[in-house]
A and B are shown apart, each in its own frame.
Chain A
Amino acid sequence: MRRLAASLLIFSISVTFIIFSVITTYSVYLPVAAVDALAVKPEMSYSLGKNNVPGDQNEVRSVTLSVSGTTVTGATVQFFKRTPGTYSVRTTVTLLDGNGNTISTGTACGSYTGTGTRTATITSFTPPVSIDSVYRVNVAIQRVGSC
């Protein structure tokens, strides 16, 4: 009995040692810190519109999205009103997903006078969307008869 126990003990210690050796030899230690963050959405693009038709040669210069948490709540658009006179301009900001589908839209319409840099403020988007769903932002301005 004692001889059997001793044999089993030596056997189990040997097997354990071999298992540990094999695992240690063939394991690859790869700390998470050594792995770059994975991109879910590494890119966004903005399209700023410019018109070149008689009576409407205005152009967008900038757009800023307002975000509450991750929800896009509004936008501020600056455009250069090149075509003089007093008339209405409709500003449309369209949010698109990664497949190019429109997922939300916001509009503002106002009457503007003279020439120079003007500001249009969009106060809501329909439907509300997360900025993490937005891959592309299109900004268009258009002279309209009235708002």
Chain B
Amino acid sequence: MLRGRQFLPLFLALLVSSAVYAAALALTSSSVDQLGMGEGNVNRYYVRVLSASITVNSNAPNNQITGGSVTLTSTVPGTYVVMITVTTSAGTRAFTTTTTLSTTPATITFTITPLSYNAPGVTISVRADPA
């Protein structure tokens, strides 16, 4: 049977192991900042669109946009749903694709239903969300 002096180390060991286990759980929780335990290693990404271009059906003043291309990267490699929105005063067209993005530039070529290219110009919006 254990005596008091022999029991003490075992008791301390149990206390320490409990504390270590609780601390390990807290660290795991801290990997997701929504849990309020701090901020951890959740990846945060920036989309960098390096170029945008349009293709038109003619060089006439009243030409139409039929597509284009964009070149982009993401700071966090992965598969993304990329939505390209083309807007002029005549309306809006959208193109969506799923592609792999990384820090190496990727070019996405898109086609849209012809859209009048009127003054003052066209806005091309590119949005990427994790697939």
Contact across chains for B28 and A38 when beta carbons are under 8 A apart: no
**Cβ contacts under 8 Å, B48 to chain A:** 44, 67, 131-132
**Cβ contacts under 8 Å, B44 to chain A:** 37-40
**How far, in whole Å, are A131 and B75 apart by their CA atoms in the complex?**
12
A 20-55 binary contact with B (CB < 8 Å = 1; else 0): 100100010111100111111111111111111000
**Cβ contacts under 8 Å, A45 to chain B:** 123-126
Contact across chains for A47 and B14 when beta carbons are under 8 A apart: no
Task: Specify the chain A residue showing the minimal Cβ separation from B52.
Answer: A46
Instruction: For chain A, give the interface size range.
Output: 35 or more
What is the count of residue pairs linking A and B with beta-carbon distances less than 8 angstroms?
146
Instruction: For chain B, give the interface size range.
Output: 35 or more
**Cβ contacts under 8 Å, B17 to chain A:** 16
Contact across chains for A42 and B14 when beta carbons are under 8 A apart: no
- Chain A residues with CB under 8 Å of chain B are 1-2, 4-6, 8-9, 12-13, 16, 19-20, 23, 27, 29-32, 35-52, 57, 59-65, 67, 78, 80, 82, 115, 131-132, 137
A16 to chain B, nearest CB (A): 5
Given A9-B7, A48-B123, 7 other A-B residues pairs in contact with their CB atoms under 8 A: A5-B4, A20-B18, A30-B32, A31-B31, A35-B32, A37-B43, A57-B61
Q: List 7 A-B contacts (CB under 8 A).
A: A9-B10, A23-B25, A39-B45, A40-B44, A44-B48, A45-B126, A48-B52
Within 112-128 of B, Cβ neighbours of A (below 8 Å) are at 117-128
Contact across chains for A16 and B52 when beta carbons are under 8 A apart: no
Contact across chains for A32 and B7 when beta carbons are under 8 A apart: no
Task: Specify the chain B residue showing the minimal Cβ separation from A8.
Answer: B7
A31, A37, A41 pick with most chain B CB within 10 angstroms: A37
Contact across chains for A32 and B52 when beta carbons are under 8 A apart: no
**Cβ contacts under 8 Å, B71 to chain A:** 64
